[in-house]
Amino acid sequence: MTYYKDLTFFQYTQSDWVFESNFPYILLNVGWLDKRQYYMQEAFDNTIKEKLLWSILNYCENPVNLTTGHHTCNLCPNEYGRILNVQRKGKEINLGNGEIFVKGINNLVYVAPTLIYHYIEVHNYKPPEEFFNAVSTSSTIEDFLFFKDMEARAQYTKKTTKKYENGQRLDALGCLFYDVRNEN
């Protein structure tokens, strides 16, 4: 998996909707680990760790950018190729197959691979305090529905907007508007 330092600007995605000019959030990386890079570790109090893992697992149940493939943990020795998963309420939740988006304060969104659950549980990865606070206080279902809606709107706009000469565009409802990005 690609390594990104915590709290740097998010760039890894297969969905370009997050880079649209009208996307109002600042996306920051959290938990994109690699065995060749240093990462913060902490032996958590079991109660705190369980609360954090439970909150993260709620996000992992519904990843925002679900992929068809998967990543494995390269921090684990002899685990290459093994799909990681978690059992919850009789359901198996695969890890390493998508991203989670957690809304923070001031239009910040923390983006992490679903493997973050494994990194915290097994490797005692300590995510940044800002992420910890956001994941502990956010509503996973509201965040999930919000970002799925944003993704759907971006895809809908791309499919239903027709381009015309002189920067004019017509949307699916037949409303003509002028694209100021094409002005000289």
Q: What's the predicted TM-score (pTM) here?
A: 0.75
Q: How far apart are the C-alpha atoms of 10 and 109, rounded to whole Å?
A: 9
Of 88, 102, 171, residue with least CA distance to 137? 102
Q: Which two tokens stand for residue 177?
A: 């508007």
Instruction: List pLDDT tens digits, range 139-181.
Output: 666 776 777 776 665 554 444 444 444 444 444 444 433 334 3
Domain ranges of the chain: 16-182
pLDDT of 124 reads 94
3-state SS assignment for residue 65: coil
Q: Spell out the alpha helix ranges (H) of the chain.
A: 46-60, 116-123, 129-137, 140-160
23 against 133, higher pLDDT:
133
Cα distances (angstroms) measured from residue 29 to each of 41, 84, 91, 140, 144 = 17, 21, 28, 18, 17
Listed in sequence order, the residues at least 6 apart from 173 whose beta carbon sits closer than 8 Å to its beta carbon are none
Residue 66, Cβ neighbours under 10 Å: how many?
Answer: 13
Q: How far apart are the C-alpha atoms of 167 and 178, rounded to whole Å?
A: 6
Instruction: List pLDDT tens digits, range 110-150.
Output: 999 999 999 999 999 999 999 999 998 876 667 767 777 76
